[in-house]
Amino acid sequence: MGLELYLDLLSQPCRALYIFARSNNIPFEFKHVELFKDSVLGKRPAAGSGAEQPRAGPSNSEGTAKVSLLKKVPALKDGDFTLAECTAILLYLSRKYNTPDHWYPSDIQKRARVDEYLSWHHANIRANAPKTMWIKVLIPLFTGQPLPSEKLQEVMEGLSTSLKQFEERFLQDKAFIIGSEISLADLVAIVELMQPVGVGCDIFEDRPRLMEWRRRVEDAVGKELFFQAHEMILNIKELSNIQIDPQLKEQLAPVLMKMLK
């Protein structure tokens, strides 16, 4: 049994991993996890039985394990070794498969820049970008409630602030975050920013510098691969038409409403 990657391409970190592995010709078995089916209804665990699984979804006092639909992906299984967390997996793969230096430079200062971005990302870009999908698509879909516009505005404002900092501190006038070459930092950033794009909040629209950067990142990984990875999220409106299992709706609705607060 070779390397297995448990992924749902609706998830941003999964896309980063998918693109990275494919772009570097890392051989792996794609284990498709459908977040809204498998993990939510407590079925087949994402990374094999007995494996450690991240479960940091929205919590409620009793059913965290059952209703944890976030963060079960991505997951890696390499023989007996299992690993969660996109950053950890990206680093593991880059080391194990000796990917080109620019992805995670050996130069100590350039590397620090990548680490800096990867750390900052969590509480900033990743704090707000995902919420756009929740608010515009998932909450209306699962709860039948109309989309809460003030909440969306709040989220977009937060995202705007992060984007400003991203441009000012991380990207600046460089081609990529660390300079002239793409690194893990750019990849992790771009997949996150495609989430709002997919649900109709085009954050690149009036940000030409970001748009240029996005084009460079797409070229660096391969346009075709990039679009393939993003096919689902870019067609997310179709998700609105799918039939959601009523049991699923019942389980998720209170959790999602809590997220709104």
- Cβ proximity of 57 and 251 under 8 Å: no
Should residue 116 be labelled a site residue for other proteins when binding is judged by CB under 8 A? yes
- Cβ proximity of 66 and 72 under 8 Å: no
Q: What span, in angstroms and rounded, lies between the C-alpha atoms of 158 and 139?
A: 19
Q: Which one of residues 44, 122, 215, 223 is an interface residue with other proteins (CB under 8 A)?
A: 122
> CA of 46: how far to CAs of 80, 97, 200, in Å?
15, 23, 29
Should residue 237 be labelled a site residue for other proteins when binding is judged by CB under 8 A? no
Which residue, among 63, 46, 51, has the nearest Cα to 11 in the 3D structure? 46
Output the smallest distance, CB 88 to other proteins, in A.
Answer: 4
Should residue 66 be labelled a site residue for other proteins when binding is judged by CB under 8 A? no
**Which residue, 1 or 108, has its beta carbon nearer to other proteins?**
108
- Cβ proximity of 196 and 126 under 8 Å: no
* Contact flags string 74-103 toward other proteins, x per CB under 8 A: -------x-xxxxxxx-xx--xx-------
Output the smallest distance, CB 228 to other proteins, in A.
Answer: 26
- Binders of other proteins among residues 18 to 57 (CB under 8 A) are 52-56
Q: Which one of residues 61, 98, 180, 241 is an interface residue with other proteins (CB under 8 A)?
A: 61
The span of 1-9, 116-124, 214-222, 223-231 binding other proteins (CB under 8 A) equals 116-124
> CA of 80: how far to CAs of 2, 33, 91, in Å?
10, 19, 18
Which residue, among 102, 87, 84, has the nearest Cα to 188 in the 3D structure? 87
Should residue 115 be labelled a site residue for other proteins when binding is judged by CB under 8 A? yes
Should residue 150 be labelled a site residue for other proteins when binding is judged by CB under 8 A? no
How many residues line the site for other proteins (CB under 8 A)?
36
Q: In what order do the strands lie in the sheet with 81-84?
A: 29-32, 3-7, 75-78, 81-84
Residue type, 132: T
Residue type, 172: Q
The span of 14-22, 38-46, 122-130, 223-231 binding other proteins (CB under 8 A) equals 122-130
List of residues contacting other proteins (CB under 8 A): 52-56, 59, 61, 64, 81, 83-89, 91-92, 95-96, 108-109, 111-113, 115-116, 118-120, 122-123, 126, 165, 168-169
